[in-house]
């Protein structure tokens, strides 16, 4: 929760007669309140635009908004180093309570920053005079903030349920990472899993086959996905793209990517790009020509 000073605090450990809430109960509570993936993208873009607009906002709201936008991971930083990816995952909101308990990533955590903004907005609305008329763009953005927090909570609870069913394994790990690239913002969907066809549980982690899926949706590129299979120094990468111009750009850069990977002594198993109609199911996409299904692992 956010206290009156705008600081994140644990809920007080008061004893109540309320029955314990199970993870399934928590999921049933958060799911109906969450916003959609497209609304999450829209909210991030609206908040970014609002912070750049110079609009007159209550002081605490402006401060919370400025912190949230400034702490969004930068695309270049995210793609240059593994540490950048690690930090973006830890600050995505999926580990908010852990960050709060350890007092780490408190200013960069997306969910905590959303909670600060929500608290400041609620406080400001109580102090402001009632307004009559159309809802402003800033009000529309703020209305999505609560649903965004519930979306992250839903993801956290679902992840805990899946982990409990898999003897505490943290995989598969699915994360929505808000990013900024210059004056634009978007959401990158990241999924990491171990290849389930690998039955040897005693194999060393670096020799296992890992499956990584990245989903992008930028205004200038449209939707596209990068799917990688990684095992030790072997890697296979497939790009699935909806927009023809984006496919052309990626194909023109494949040789550069191939050279960069080889310079790092990486053995390339697959490196290709297809134009496809991307589906909601995370493990498949359908090609435009010819009509057939491509599995992530191919």
Lowest mean pLDDT of 13-17, 111-115, 218-222, 254-258, name the range: 13-17
Question: Is residue 179 classed as helix, strand or coil in its secondary structure?
Answer: strand
Please determine, for residue 18, whether its predicted confidence score (pLDDT) is greater than 70: no
The pLDDT of residue 7 is 53
128 pLDDT tier (thresholds 50, 70, 90):
confident
Question: pLDDT tier at 182 (50, 70, 90 boundaries)?
Answer: confident
Question: How far is 46 from 141, CA to CA, in rounded Å?
Answer: 6
pLDDT at 132 over 90: no
Q: Is the pTM of this model over 0.95?
A: no
Q: Is the pLDDT of residue 275 over 90?
A: yes
The pLDDT assigned to 95 comes to 92
CB 81 within 8 A of CB 68: no
Residues 168-183: what's their mean pLDDT?
A: 82
Write out the H or E segment, with its range, that includes residue 140. helix 137-165
Q: Please state, in angstroms and as integers, the Cα–Cα distance from residue 157 to each residue in 22, 154, 174, 262, following that order.
A: 10, 5, 12, 40
Confidence band, pLDDT 50/70/90 cuts, at residue 279: confident
Instruction: Single out the residue of 185, 198, 259, 275 nearest to residue 230, CA to CA.
Output: 198
- The per-residue pLDDT for 284 is 36
What confidence tens digit (pLDDT) does each residue in 188-244 have?
A: 999 998 887 766 667 777 678 899 999 988 888 999 999 999 998 999 999 999 999
pLDDT at 218: 85
pLDDT of residue 76: 82
Domains of the chain: 1-11+19-170 (no CATH), 195-298 (3.30.750)
H/E stretch holding 122: helix 110-127
Quick one: what percent of the chain has pLDDT higher than 90? 44
- Give the closest residue to 264 by CA, choosing from 78, 76, 81, 74: 81
**DSSP classification of residue 74:** B
List beta partners, residue 151.
none
Written as six digits, the tokens of 34 are 């969450």
Task: Give the confidence band of 295 by pLDDT, cuts at 50, 70, 90.
Answer: very low
Query: To the nearest whole number, what is the mean pLDDT of the chain?
Result: 81
pLDDT tens figures, 75-126: 887 777 778 888 999 999 999 988 889 988 899 999 999 999 999 999 988 8
């Amino acid at each position: 929760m956010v206290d009156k000073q705008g600081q994140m605090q644990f809920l007080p450990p008061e004893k109540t007669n309320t029955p314990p809430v199970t993870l399934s109960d928590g999921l049933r509570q958060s799911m109906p309140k969450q916003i959609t993936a497209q609304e999450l993208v829209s909210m991030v873009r609206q908040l970014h635009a609002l912070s750049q607009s110079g609009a007159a906002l209550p002081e605490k709201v402006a401060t919370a908004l400025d912190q949230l936008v400034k702490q969004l991971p930068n695309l270049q930083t995210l793609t240059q180093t593994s540490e950048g990816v690690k930090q973006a995952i830890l600050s995505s909101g999926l580990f908010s309570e852990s960050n709060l308990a350890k007092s780490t990533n408190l200013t960069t955590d997306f969910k905590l920053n959303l909670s600060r903004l929500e608290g400041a907005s609620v406080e400001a609305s109580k102090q402001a005079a009632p307004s009559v008329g159309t809802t402003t763009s800033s009000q529309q953005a703020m209305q999505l903030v609560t649903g965004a927090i519930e979306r992250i909570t839903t993801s956290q609870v679902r992840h805990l349920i899946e982990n409990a069913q898999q003897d505490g394994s943290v995989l598969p790990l699915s994360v929505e990472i808000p990013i900024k690239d210059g004056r634009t913002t978007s959401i990158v969907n990241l999924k990491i899993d171990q290849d389930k066809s690998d039955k040897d549980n005693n194999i060393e982690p670096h020799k296992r086959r890992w499956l990584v899926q990245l989903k992008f949706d930028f205004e200038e590129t449209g939707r596209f996905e990068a799917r990688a299979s990684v095992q030790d120094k072997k890697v296979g990468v497939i790009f699935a793209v909806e927009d023809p111009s984006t496919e052309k750009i990626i194909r023109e850069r494949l040789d550069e990517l191939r050279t960069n990977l080889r310079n790092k002594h990486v053995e390339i198993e697959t490196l290709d790009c297809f134009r496809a109609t991307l589906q909601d199911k995370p493990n498949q996409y359908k090609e435009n020509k010819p009509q057939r299904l491509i599995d992530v692992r191919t």
